[in-house]
Chain A
Amino acid sequence: MELVLLVLSAILVNNFVLSRFLGICPFLGVSKKLSTALGMTAAVMFVMTLASTVCWLVFHGLLRPYGLEYLQTISFILIIAAMVQLVELALQKLSPGLYRSLGIYLPLITTNCAVLGCAVMNIMNESSLLVTAVFSLAAAMGFGLALVLFSGIREVLALADTPRSFRGTAIALVTAGTLSLSFMGFAGLVK
Chain B
Amino acid sequence: MKFSGGVHPAYHKDTAGLQIEAMPLLHRYVVPIAQHLGAPGKVLVAKGDRVARWQPLSEPVGFVSVPVHAPTSGTVKQVAALPHPLGRPMLAVEIESDGEDRPWEGLAPPADWRRLEPAELRRAIQAAGVVGMGGATFPTHVKLSPPAEKKVDLLILNGAECEPYLTADHRVMLEQAAEVMEGLGLMMRVLGVTRACVGIESNKPDALEALRRACPADVAAEFTLLETKYPQGSEKHLIYALSGRRVPPGGLPMDVGCVVQNVGTAVACLEAVRDGLPMTERVATVTGAAINVPHNLRVRVGAPLLDVLAHCGGVTPDVGKVIFGGPMMGIGQFDMDVPLIKGTSGVLCLRDDEAVLFEGGPCIRCGACVDACPMGLVPSAMGLIAERFRFEELGDWHILDCIECGSCAYVCPSRRPLVQHFKRGKAEWRDILEERRAKTDRDAKRAETAATA
Indicate whether A and B are direct neighbours in the complex (CB within 8 Å): yes
The yes or no answer to A159 lying at the interface (CB within 8 A) is yes
Q: Does the CB pair B362–A161 fall under 8 Å?
A: yes
Q: Mark A140-183, 1 if CB is under 8 A from B, else 0.
A: 00000000000000000011010000000000000000000000
Task: Tell me the interface secondary structure of chain A in the complex.
Answer: loop
The yes or no answer to B242 lying at the interface (CB within 8 A) is no
Give the residues in chain B near A161, CB-CB below 8 Å.
362
A161 closest partner in B (C-beta): B362
Q: Does the CB pair A159–B362 fall under 8 Å?
A: no
**Distance between Cα atoms of A75 and B78 in the complex (Å):** 90
Among B362, B384, B387, B390, find the residue whose CB has the most chain A CB atoms closer than 10 A.
B384
The yes or no answer to B115 lying at the interface (CB within 8 A) is no
Interface size on A, residues (CB 8 A): 3
The yes or no answer to B210 lying at the interface (CB within 8 A) is no
B388 closest partner in A (C-beta): A159
B384 closest partner in A (C-beta): A159
Interface residues of B in 372-390 (CB under 8 A from A): 384-385, 387-388, 390
Distance in angstroms from B247 CB to nearest chain A CB is: 31
Interface residues of B in 390-417 (CB under 8 A from A): 390
Give the residues in chain A near B362, CB-CB below 8 Å.
161
Give the residues in chain A near B385, CB-CB below 8 Å.
159
Distance in angstroms from B418 CB to nearest chain A CB is: 15
Distance in angstroms from A157 CB to nearest chain B CB is: 11
Give the residues in chain B near A159, CB-CB below 8 Å.
384-385, 387-388, 390
Give the residues in chain A near B388, CB-CB below 8 Å.
158-159
Distance in angstroms from A171 CB to nearest chain B CB is: 15
**Distance between Cα atoms of A159 and B77 in the complex (Å):** 54
Q: Mark B254-274, 1 if CB is under 8 A from A, else 0.
A: 000000000000000000000
Give the residues in chain A near B387, CB-CB below 8 Å.
159
Q: Mark B24-42, 1 if CB is under 8 A from A, else 0.
A: 0000000000000000000
Distance in angstroms from B113 CB to nearest chain A CB is: 56
Give the residues in chain A near B384, CB-CB below 8 Å.
159
**Distance between Cα atoms of A1 and B62 in the complex (Å):** 76
Give the residues in chain B near A158, CB-CB below 8 Å.
388
Q: Mark B119-161, 1 if CB is under 8 A from A, else 0.
A: 0000000000000000000000000000000000000000000
Distance in angstroms from B265 CB to nearest chain A CB is: 43
A159 closest partner in B (C-beta): B384
**Distance between Cα atoms of A161 and B363 in the complex (Å):** 11
**Distance between Cα atoms of A161 and B364 in the complex (Å):** 13
**Distance between Cα atoms of A161 and B388 in the complex (Å):** 9
**Distance between Cα atoms of A95 and B165 in the complex (Å):** 57
Distance in angstroms from B394 CB to nearest chain A CB is: 13
**Distance between Cα atoms of A161 and B414 in the complex (Å):** 15
B362 closest partner in A (C-beta): A161
**Distance between Cα atoms of A154 and B362 in the complex (Å):** 18
Distance in angstroms from B150 CB to nearest chain A CB is: 39
Distance in angstroms from B397 CB to nearest chain A CB is: 12
Q: Mark B345-362, 1 if CB is under 8 A from A, else 0.
A: 000000000000000001
B383 closest partner in A (C-beta): A159
Distance in angstroms from A153 CB to nearest chain B CB is: 13
Give the residues in chain A near B390, CB-CB below 8 Å.
159
Distance in angstroms from A75 CB to nearest chain B CB is: 46
**Distance between Cα atoms of A2 and B427 in the complex (Å):** 59
**Distance between Cα atoms of A161 and B387 in the complex (Å):** 10
**Distance between Cα atoms of A159 and B388 in the complex (Å):** 7
B365 closest partner in A (C-beta): A156
B387 closest partner in A (C-beta): A159
**Distance between Cα atoms of A62 and B390 in the complex (Å):** 55
Interface residues of A in 17-55 (CB under 8 A from B): none
Q: Mark B203-244, 1 if CB is under 8 A from A, else 0.
A: 000000000000000000000000000000000000000000
**Distance between Cα atoms of A158 and B390 in the complex (Å):** 11
B385 closest partner in A (C-beta): A159
Give 3 nearest A-B pairs by CB, closest first: A159-B384, A159-B388, A159-B385
- Can you name 7 A-B pairs with beta carbons within 8 Å? A158-B388, A159-B384, A159-B385, A159-B387, A159-B388, A159-B390, A161-B362
